A and B are shown apart, each in its own frame.
Chain A
Amino acid sequence: MDRRKTLKLISALCLLPGFTVLSSCQKPYGNPPLDGLDSETIKKYGQTYLIRYPNDEGINEIMVLMNDKNQAEFELIKQLQQRVKNDFENEEITNLFGWNISKTEARVFAAATIIMSNRKQN
Chain B
Amino acid sequence: MIINSEELENGSLIESEVVIIGGGIAGITLARQLGQFGHKVVILESGGEEPDYKVQSLYSGIATMDAPGIKPKNIDGYLLSSRLRYYGGSGNHWDGLCVPLDPVDFAKRDWIPYSGWPFDMSYLKPYYNSACDLLEIPRLGNDLKLPHEAGEPSFLNGKIPGLITRPHYFTSFSGYEKNGKFKNLKKQTSNHKNIKIYLYASVTNIVLVIGGQQVKELEITCLNGHKHRARGKVVILATGGIENARILLASNDFMKPGYSMQSDWIGRCFQGHASISDKNKASILYTYPKNNKVSLTDDENIYKSYKIWYILATSAEAQIKDKASNFSVYHANQINDNAKNVVEGLALKLCQPDFKKITSKHIQVHFPIEHTPNRESRITLMTDNRDELGMPRVKLEWKNSELDFECFDRSINSLVKELGVNNAGRVQWASKKNTRHKTAEYLNFDRSHHIGSTRMSIDPKYGVVDEHSRMHGVSNLFVAGSSVFPTSGIANPTLTIVALTFRLAEHIHNELVV
Contacts and interface: CB of A to CB of B under 8 A. Distances in A.
B343 A101 contact: yes
Contacts of B151: none
B346 to A, nearest CB: 6
Contact of B421 (A89, A96, A105): A89
Given A37-B342, A37-B345, A105-B350, A95 B430 contact: yes
Contact of B342 (A41, A81, A89): A41
A85 B421 contact: yes
Interface string A31-50: 01111111011100100000
Contacts of A97: 428, 431
A81 B350 CA distance: 5
B427 A88 contact: no
Interface band, chain B: 20 to 34
Interface string A69-89: 000001001101100110111
A101 B273 CA distance: 29
A98 interface: yes
Given A77-B349, A99-B428, A88 B342 contact: no
Contacts of B423: 81, 85
A34 B428 contact: no
Interface stretch (B371-379, B412-420, B449-457, B496-504): B412-420
A91 interface: yes
B350 A84 contact: yes
B426 A101 contact: yes
Contacts of B345: 34, 36-37
Contacts of A99: 343, 426-428
B420 A84 contact: yes
Contacts of B420: 84-85, 87-88, 93, 100-102
A32 B416 contact: no
Contacts of A93: 416-417, 420
Interface in A23-68: 32-38, 40-42, 45
A108 interface: yes
Contact of B428 (A35, A77, A100, A108): A100
A53 to B, nearest CB: 12
Nearest to A32: B349
Interface string A5-36: 00000000000000000000000000011111
Contacts of A109: 342, 346
A37 to B, nearest CB: 4
A113 to B, nearest CB: 11
A41 B339 contact: yes
25 contacts: A33-B346, A34-B342, A34-B345, A34-B346, A34-B349, A36-B340, A38-B339, A38-B342, A40-B339, A41-B341, A77-B350, A81-B423, A87-B420, A91-B417, A93-B416, A93-B420, A94-B432, A98-B281, A98-B429, A99-B427, A100-B412, A100-B420, A100-B428, A101-B347, A101-B420
Given A78-B353, A95-B430, A100-B429, 11 more contacts: A32-B349, A34-B345, A81-B351, A81-B423, A85-B423, A99-B427, A100-B416, A100-B420, A101-B420, A105-B343, A109-B342
Interface of A: 32-38, 40-42, 45, 74, 77-78, 80-81, 84-85, 87-89, 91, 93-102, 105, 108-109
Which 6 pairs between the two chains have the least Cβ-Cβ distance? A88-B420, A37-B345, A100-B416, A88-B421, A98-B428, A41-B342
